[in-house]
Amino acid sequence: MSNPFFETWTTPFGLPPFDRIQAEHFPPAFDHGMAENIAEIAAITGNSDAPTFANTIEAMERSGRFLNRVGGVFWNLNSSNTTDALETIARDYAPKFAQHSMRIALDPALFARVAELYERRGTLDLAPDQLRLLERQHLGFVRSGALLPPDAKARMTAITERLATLHTLFGQNVLHDEKDWQLVLEESDLAGLPDFARNAAAQAAKERGQEGKYVITLARSSVEPFLTFSARRDLRQVAYEAWIRRGEHEGEHDNRPLIREIVALRTEQAKLMGYASYADFKLDDSMAKDTSAVEWLLLQVWGPAKEKAAAERAELQDCARAEGMNEPIAPWDWRYYAEKVRQAKYDIDEAEVKPYFVLENMVRAAFDTAGRLFGLTFTERPDLPVYHPDVRVYEVTEKDGRHVGIFLHDNFARSSKRSGAWMSSYRDQENFDGAVSPIIVNNNNFSKGEPTLLSFDDAETLFHEFGHFLHGCLSNVRYPSQSGTSVRRDFVELPSQIYEHWLAVPETLSTYARHHQTGEPIPQDLLRRLLAARNFNQGFGTVEYTAAALLDLEFHTRSDAADTDVAAFERSVLDKIGMPAEIAVRHRPTHFQHLFAGSGYAAGYYAYLWAEVLDADGFEAFLETGNPFDPDLAAKLKTIYSSGDTRDPMELYTAFRGREPRIEALLKHRGLTQSLGDA
């Protein structure tokens, strides 16, 4: 059988030939790619010429291209449309990839060449992007353990391999619980559910072989509307408890022993590198720099958020009593009574709002906003290959017709897709050995309907991920290592979060929020009430997020993590911070994939709030001009999207804003008015 990975792709724009790629093609391609990559590194280290930027750093940038192409397809498919065969390959190859990367990262001859260049960097006459690339490459080697003695290097490699396996298993266990669980309902169980929720549940039932019934799944877009509208308190409790217990079941899919081992190995890893804790190690290469800065930021909002949540709880309890429920508000009651209070306070009903938020229109809003800000045009290309029928493909061009990239939009929940929402790439932009355009994918998990209707939060999620897409698509850098979202973890959320603001611009909503049946724009009175209600329930939202970020920090600031009882540790942390009993952490440990299905956000979940300081302050600059599409500011913002990791993130921000960020805009945006000095 021919293997597409060993052929030159003739598909338009170099898209993967998805219709020809099978699971069995990946192992031989991976094996070949790793062998080729090792040979490429050997050619660099075996070069008898003295190290130069060209024969070392640029040669490293050229290495691994075959392996990256195969991996780009595999990891995207494994997240977006996985199969048992792909999951098996992921488990088998995770430690092999870790071993491979560590073999390169700890190659003494390679590091010697990089270190020599680093020592001479002031004499090399490098361009600013080249100097930053050299400095970041050197730091990457050091942080991988290149300066450690041989026995410590061997242990670092072993830890990295084991963590790769544990991360993979963790994510697969969460997906198993999400695929395995369903709440099957009859017509008599639907009290309180509006039409859009009923239609989505009917569609989910059809997809799961329960035609004629209704199914609630553990996708957030399914379970949250159920918790918000279902009048059946008993069923809300069933759904809620299943939702928060993903990954927390005895047996082969229990994530608790995995968390214990992950945390212990990360702590050991940090100590090998000379740090007291994993958080100290991780944050040393971030904008925040240390745990005290992160803790300060989180506590700035924690106190005000709890106060606001307490006031919200009192309102919900009054509402519940008025309806005849005298028991204390439970976590599975919060969303239900919050919606009732919202309706009463703002005369606004989610069921009234949602018909105006049609998926297709919100996609067009995101596209057209990018057109006004950055001059981009999106043309649907149904002729291009896709990996699933749900995926829509668009060619992105400049106004002059110049090709910029390809955008894959995968919006619907399905059992073969992991939960949440994310951006990824099949190919990154670069201008090194010729112009290479990006192929970017956005994944969401919306409940499919006819038509698909979004909540305001769903629409914000769509804009958020589209902001990440723009970060990848607008990238204009020379080297692939600096492309798009290859930036500090606590800076990567700025381009996504600031883009969310344009959804709430009244002009955007007046134009694109149109009723799915009549096509009429959202009434101005409803729009006014919708925007007035944006800070409603922000105490709840801020508490559930900030608790998760504090829990992350506590897990990773431990100096001794060998015997972590996950459930007891979670309880002790929540007790210490005074977590309200009626609110659960946004991501409990056993399904906290940001932390344990990979290391990207480990000791870094605070990044969303850190970036919110930047995005709230940054969008305030547009408001100060009186024009949310101010062309001069848009051009400066585009520089942030296009620069990748070629410049220091704070330098990029201050060039855009004219000064460093301030926290006041965040507190205002969330409706938390406590002053800076009160926390």
What confidence tens digit (pLDDT) does each residue in 283-306 have?
Answer: 999 999 999 999 999 999 999 999
Q: Where are the alpha helices (DSSP H) in 455-493?
A: 456-473
Residue 480's nearest CA partner among 58, 138, 32, 12 is 58
Predicted confidence (pLDDT) at residue 504 exceeds the cutoff of 90: yes
Strands (E) across 300-436 are located at 376-380, 392-398, 403-412, 422-427
Q: Give the Cα separation of 72 and 50 in Å (integer).
A: 34
Q: Decide if 649 contacts 491 (C-beta within 8 A).
A: yes
Structure tokens at 122: 């002031």
Per-residue confidence at 561, pLDDT binned at 50, 70, 90?
low
How confident is the model at residue 673, as a pLDDT? 66
State the sign of the Cα–Cα–Cα–Cα dihedral 79, 377, 634, 646.
positive
pLDDT tens track for 113-154:
999 999 999 999 999 999 999 999 999 999 999 999 999 999
List the catalytic residue out of 465, 544, 570, 582.
Answer: 465
Predicted confidence (pLDDT) at residue 597 exceeds the cutoff of 50: yes
More confident: 91 or 663: 91
Residue 423's nearest CA partner among 377, 454, 466, 456 is 466
Q: Which phi and psi angles does 309 have, rounded to 5°?
A: -65, -35
Q: Which residues of 532-554 are buried (b: 16+ CB within 10 A; e: fewer)?
A: ebeebbbbbbbbbbbbbbbbbbb
Collapse the DSSP code of 648 into the 3-class scheme (helix H, G, I; strand E, B; otherwise coil) and give the result. coil
Q: What's the chain's average pLDDT? A: 95
pLDDT tens track for 169-189:
999 999 999 998 999 999 999
Using CA atoms, how far residue 511 sits from 250, 369, 389, 533, in Å, is 51, 11, 29, 20
Return the amino acid letter for 646: T
State the DSSP code for 187.
Answer: G
Please confirm, yes or no, whether 465 is among the known catalytic residues: yes
Per-residue confidence at 1, pLDDT binned at 50, 70, 90?
low
Give residue for tokens 């996609």.
Answer: 363
Cis peptide before 17 (omega within 30 of 0): no
Minimum mean pLDDT range among 393-407, 437-451, 481-495, 553-567: 553-567
pLDDT tens track for 512-524:
999 999 999 999 9
DSSP 316-370: HHHHHHHTT--SPPPHHHHHHHHHHHHHHHH---HHHHGGG-BHHHHHHHHHHHH
Share of the chain above pLDDT 90, in %: 93
How confident is the model at residue 675, as a pLDDT? 34
Give residue for tokens 């939702």.
Answer: 243
Give residue for tokens 């001059």.
Answer: 375
Annotated domain spans of the chain: 4-147, 181-245
Q: Give the Cα separation of 411 and 336 in Å (integer).
A: 26
Q: Give the Cα separation of 652 and 48 in Å (integer).
A: 39
Using CA atoms, how far residue 101 sits from 41, 161, 212, 396, 425, in Å, is 11, 10, 51, 33, 20
Return the amino acid letter for 358: V
How confident is the model at residue 677, as a pLDDT? 36
Give the chain's largest Cα–Cα span. Answer: 84
pLDDT tens track for 63-84:
999 999 999 999 999 999 999 9
Q: Which phi and psi angles does 190 have, rounded to 5°?
A: -100, 15
Q: Which phi and psi angles does 193 have, rounded to 5°?
A: -75, 125
Q: Give the Cα separation of 257 and 270 in Å (integer).
A: 20
Using CA atoms, how far residue 616 sits from 165, 422, 501, 511, in Å, is 38, 21, 8, 23
Predicted confidence (pLDDT) at residue 333 exceeds the cutoff of 70: yes
Q: Give the Cα separation of 59 and 68 in Å (integer).
A: 15
Collapse the DSSP code of 639 into the 3-class scheme (helix H, G, I; strand E, B; otherwise coil) and give the result. helix
| Domain 4-147, CATH number (from 1.20.1050.40, 3.40.50.720, 2.60.200.20, 3.30.2290.10) | 1.20.1050.40
pLDDT tens track for 8-55:
999 999 999 999 999 999 999 999 999 999 999 999 999 999 999 999
How confident is the model at residue 386, as a pLDDT? 97
Return the amino acid letter for 377: T
Helix axes 538-556, 256-272, angle to 10 degrees: 60
Structure tokens at 115: 């270190």
Q: Give the Cα separation of 221 and 463 in Å (integer).
A: 16
Predicted confidence (pLDDT) at residue 562 exceeds the cutoff of 80: no
Predicted confidence (pLDDT) at residue 678 exceeds the cutoff of 50: no
Structure tokens at 419: 């939960």
pLDDT tens track for 204-229:
999 999 999 999 999 988 999 999 99
Q: Give the bridge partners for 405, in sequence order.
A: 396
How confident is the model at residue 674, as a pLDDT? 46
Q: Give the bridge partners for 442, in sequence order.
A: 409, 423
Per-residue confidence at 450, pLDDT binned at 50, 70, 90?
confident
Q: Give the Cα separation of 248 and 134 in Å (integer).
A: 44
Q: Where are the alpha helices (DSSP H) in 591-630?
A: 593-596, 607-625
Predicted confidence (pLDDT) at residue 98 exceeds the cutoff of 60: yes
Q: Give the bridge partners for 380, in sequence order.
A: 394
Q: Give the Cα separation of 495 and 608 in Å (integer).
A: 11
State the DSSP code for 397.
Answer: E
Q: Decide if 505 contacts 271 (C-beta within 8 A).
A: no
State the sign of the Cα–Cα–Cα–Cα dihedral 268, 269, 275, 280.
negative
Give residue for tokens 């201050």.
Answer: 654
Within 10 A of 76 (CB to CB), how many other CB atoms are there? 20
Label each residue of 536-575 as H, E or C. CCHHHHHHHHHHHHHHHHHHHCCCCCCCCCHHHHHHHHHH
